């Protein structure tokens, strides 16, 4: 194998790489997918779970566009839950505990059998460039793969360094060597790299734990799948919960000098929202204990993932800490926790189509752009695959707006804003989250998936019919008047448990705060023919319609503003009336449109009016 040719080369076969390769191939391109080891395709090296708050929204949107992650999570899932149920349905977070071996096997089989994808084992040590444009990659050993588009999805392998206590060794993750040559290549191209850090907890032998003493966490009674391809899923395992006792704090404090995180051995910045146990003890000294979740890594696996106990402490300290936790006194270690440092590309060096500004044809996705999870990586991978194909065809890029999708929020935040720690998606990052719920993902994005040839026509029409039935049901509930005669009052009292004193509609009844709307909807003959999920969605549409209308109005305003560009030669400091804070924010962030400028810190409505007025008068540089 001296030389290969393709349309697209994808470097790295993790969650980002698999989505990128599959999208590009299904859109008609010839793809070579390069991985260090075939057996680690789409591996889940950290938490054996998919989804959650914010992350579940990304999976739903990926799935609506025809992505793979939700489909694979449904088939590998062993426990399904909706997180954040105490709040409105727009911010519910679907999550699936997965069998990590099944997940990896599914994705490997898919990559091996997908028409248009060629899977190659090897390490990419260099990029092929001509006149500043990419035209392929060079593997270790001299093999060249020529392609006019290259997508890098290197995960934590770029300059990877593993830490456990004083022990340091090169590696992208446990048992695997890092990628060493590619980082130097990116630096020579003029890209700024930063050092990030992530970590993972110990894995324990299930048989060594006293699980009978611990609280059990079950999945939802009626579990919901992620994907439109899946009819039903079922729970096949439970998880357990325990807490660290005060003695753990004392053990960690006594050994902080042996932690690479606090001894100065780690330069990389770790994720703020997923700190190690030693970081928790230091940052939250007022907390006497911390919650620990014990999660099976597979339905028949003897390995338990100790969620909440990520650490890079020395092995002997990890043993003392773990065996102090109730239920874990006899714990046998299958793997010790470790931290991994790796290189990432600093923000603003790629466009929102995920193409390097300085190297046409070179696309980046996943943790290489500073994200932190499987879901963020997969989302960026899908978009990179789509845009690489569009770039080859000379077509407009596919870049969702942040008012349209969490995918848009992700790209806007990761590519267009400063972030100096691993980026994690939360619902709080989306200004229009009421309009971007998991339930609306297909209706928002599935037409784009069909247009991109990633969603079959038949599947799209099946979903269209569901949307039509929901809208019709809502209209029926709004328009069907119910009068307060004796028979009607009795029906309302029996179904909804409330008194009806004036003419009303079932929509108005369902909006009442003293009504269990979902139970009422389940009993209404007007909603016969809808699934339980569709009835719940219709109820949500009715109960939140006032809020949704206001957000829709705001979204339309932003869409209009998005078309007002800010001149590249605009000098904010020369605009009378702008505060120094606003002028500096505009100078540093360099927003491309008025809609982008509105989201910057310190930008007031008055400042926005001044800026808009200056642009309307043809204002640019002095």
pLDDT recorded at residue 2: 63
Domain boundaries, the chain: 3-48+68-74+102-194+342-427, 203-339, 457-550, 562-616
Structure tokens belonging to residue 443: 């209706």
> Which range among 178-192, 231-245, 297-311, 326-340 shows the weakest confidence by mean pLDDT?
178-192
Eight-state DSSP code of residue 566: P
pLDDT recorded at residue 73: 98
Would you say domain 562-616 falls under CATH 1.10.150.570? yes
Does residue 108 surpass a pLDDT of 50?
yes
Q: Higher-confidence residue: 342 or 516?
A: 342
pLDDT recorded at residue 204: 98
SS3 319: helix
The predicted model scores a pTM of: 0.91
Q: Higher-confidence residue: 584 or 247?
A: 247
Nearest to 27 by CA among 62, 67, 57: 67
Band of pLDDT at residue 562, cut at 50, 70 and 90: low
| Secondary structure of 182-215 in HEC code, one letter for each residue | HHHHHHHCCCCEEEEEEEECCEEEHHHCCHHHCE
Does residue 620 surpass a pLDDT of 60?
no
Q: List the Cα angle 515/520/523 in 5-degree steps.
A: 165
SS3 66: coil
Average pLDDT score over the chain: 90
SS3 343: strand
Give the whole-angstrom CA distance, residue 266 versus residue 260. Answer: 6
| Secondary structure of 79-136 in HEC code, one letter for each residue | EEEEECCCCCHHHCEEEEEECHHHHHHHHHHHHHHCCCEEEEECCEEEEEEECCEEEE
> Which range among 176-185, 324-333, 535-544 shows the weakest confidence by mean pLDDT?
176-185
> Which range among 106-115, 206-215, 326-335, 408-417 shows the weakest confidence by mean pLDDT?
408-417
pLDDT recorded at residue 339: 93
The alpha helices in 480-511, defined as continuous H runs, are 486-496, 506-511
- The whole-number average pLDDT for the span 368-384 is 96
Query: Which residues, in sequence order, are CB contacts of 500 under 8 Å at separation 6+?
Result: 482, 484, 488, 489, 492, 493, 509
Q: Is 394 exposed, middle or buried (0-12, 13-18, 19+ CB in 10 A)?
A: exposed
> Which range among 56-70, 95-109, 118-132, 550-564 shows the weakest confidence by mean pLDDT?
550-564
Residue with tokens 């200056």: 614
- The whole-number average pLDDT for the span 599-616 is 78
Does residue 432 surpass a pLDDT of 70?
yes
CATH of domain 3-48+68-74+102-194+342-427: 3.50.50.60
- The whole-number average pLDDT for the span 542-564 is 80
Q: Higher-confidence residue: 542 or 70?
A: 70
pLDDT recorded at residue 502: 66
- The whole-number average pLDDT for the span 50-65 is 97
pLDDT recorded at residue 233: 97
Percent of the chain surpassing pLDDT 90: 63
Would you give the distance in Å from CA 457 to the centre of its chain?
Answer: 26
53 C-beta neighbours (distance < 10 Å), count: 19
Residue with tokens 């050993």: 141
Give the whole-angstrom CA distance, residue 317 versus residue 214. Answer: 23
Q: Is-contact 36 123, C-beta < 8 A? A: yes
**Assigned CATH topology for domain 203-339:** Elongation Factor Tu (Ef-tu); domain 3 (2.40.30)
Give the whole-angstrom CA distance, residue 152 versus residue 10. Answer: 6
Q: Higher-confidence residue: 494 or 300?
A: 300
pLDDT recorded at residue 622: 44
Give the whole-angstrom CA distance, residue 413 versus residue 7. Answer: 29
State the Cα torsion 26-30-32-38 to the nearest 10°: 40
Per-residue model confidence as pLDDT tens digits over 392-431 = 999 999 999 888 999 999 998 999 888 889 999 999 888 8
> Which range among 339-348, 369-378, 593-602 shows the weakest confidence by mean pLDDT?
593-602
- The whole-number average pLDDT for the span 30-43 is 95
Band of pLDDT at residue 12, cut at 50, 70 and 90: very high
Per-residue model confidence as pLDDT tens digits over 590-602 = 888 887 887 776 7
Q: Is-contact 63 227, C-beta < 8 A? A: yes
**Assigned CATH topology for domain 457-550:** Arc Repressor Mutant, subunit A (1.10.10)
Give the whole-angstrom CA distance, residue 448 versus residue 442. Answer: 10
Does residue 619 surpass a pLDDT of 60?
no
Pairing status of strand 144-146 against strand 3-5: parallel
Residue with tokens 């691993």: 422
Distinct helix (H) and strand (E) counts, the chain:
20, 24
Per-residue model confidence as pLDDT tens digits over 281-292 = 998 888 889 999
């Amino acid at each position: 194998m001296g030389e290969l040719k393709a349309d697209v080369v994808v470097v790295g076969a993790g969650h980002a790489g698999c989505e990128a390769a599959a999208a590009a191939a299904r859109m008609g391109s010839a793809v070579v997918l390069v991985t260090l080891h075939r057996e680690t395709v789409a591996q889940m090296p950290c938490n054996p779970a998919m989804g959650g708050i914010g992350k579940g929204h990304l999976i739903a949107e990926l799935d609506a566009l025809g992505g793979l992650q939700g489909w694979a999570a449904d088939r590998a899932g062993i426990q399904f839950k909706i997180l954040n149920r105490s709040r409105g349905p727009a911010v519910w977070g679907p999550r699936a505990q997965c069998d990590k071996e099944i997940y990896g096997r599914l994705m490997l089989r898919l990559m091996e059998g997908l028409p248009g994808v060629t899977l190659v084992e090897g390490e990419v040590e260099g990029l092929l460039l001509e006149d500043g444009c990419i035209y392929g990659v060079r593997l270790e050993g001299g093999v060249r793969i020529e392609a006019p588009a290259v997508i890098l999805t290197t995960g934590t392998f770029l300059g990877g360094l593993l830490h456990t206590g004083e022990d340091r060794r090169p590696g992208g993750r446990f048992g695997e060597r890092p990628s060493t040559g590619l980082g130097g290549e990116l630096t020579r191209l003029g890209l700024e790299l930063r050092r990030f850090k992530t970590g993972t907890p110990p894995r324990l032998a299930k048989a060594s734990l006293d699980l009978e003493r611990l609280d059990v966490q079950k999945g939802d009674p009626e579990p919901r799948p992620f994907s439109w391809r899946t009819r039903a899923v079922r729970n096949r395992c439970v998880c357990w919960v325990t807490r660290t006792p005060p003695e753990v704090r004392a053990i960690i404090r006594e050994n902080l000098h042996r932690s690479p995180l606090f001894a100065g051995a780690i330069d990389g910045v770790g994720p703020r929202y997923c700190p190690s146990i030693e970081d928790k003890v230091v940052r939250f000294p007022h907390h006497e204990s911390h919650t620990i979740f014990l999660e099976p890594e597979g339905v028949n696996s003897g390995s338990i993932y100790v969620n909440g106990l990520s650490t890079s402490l020395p092995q002997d300290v990890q043993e003392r800490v773990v065996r102090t936790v109730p239920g874990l006194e006899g714990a046998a270690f299958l793997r010790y926790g470790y931290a991994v440092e790796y290189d990432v590309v600093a923000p603003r060096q790629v466009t929102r189509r995920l193409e390097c500004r300085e190297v046409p044809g070179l696309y980046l996705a996943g943790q290489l752009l500073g994200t932190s999870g499987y879901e963020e990586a997969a989302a960026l991978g899908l978009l990179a695959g789509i845009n690489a194909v569009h770039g080859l065809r000379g077509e407009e890029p596919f870049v969702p707006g942040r008012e349209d999708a969490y995918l848009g929020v992700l790209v806007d935040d990761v590519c267009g804003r400063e972030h100096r720690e691993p980026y994690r998606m939360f619902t709080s990052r989306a200004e229009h989250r009421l309009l971007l719920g998991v339930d609306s993902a297909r209706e928002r994005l599935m037409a784009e998936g069909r247009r991109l040839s990633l969603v079959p026509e038949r599947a799209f029409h099946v979903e269209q019919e569901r949307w039509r039935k929901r809208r019709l049901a809502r209209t029926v509930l709004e328009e069907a008047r119910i009068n307060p005669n004796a028979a009607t009052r009795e029906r309302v009292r029996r179904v909804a448990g409330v008194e009806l004193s004036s003419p009303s509609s079932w929509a108005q009844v369902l909006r009442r705060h003293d009504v269990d709307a979902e139970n009422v909807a389940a009993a209404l003959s007007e909603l016969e023919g809808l699934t339980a999920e569709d009835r719940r969605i219709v109820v949500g549409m009715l109960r939140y319609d006032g809020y949704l209308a206001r957000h829709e109005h705001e979204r339309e305003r932003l869409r209009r503003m998005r078309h007002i560009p800010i001149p590249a030669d605009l000098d904010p400091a020369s605009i009378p009336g702008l505060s120094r804070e606003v002028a500096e924010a505009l100078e540093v962030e360099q927003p491309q449109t008025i809609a982008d400028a509105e989201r910057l810190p310190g930008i007031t409505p008055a400042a926005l009016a001044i800026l808009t007025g200056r642009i309307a008068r043809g204002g640019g540089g002095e």
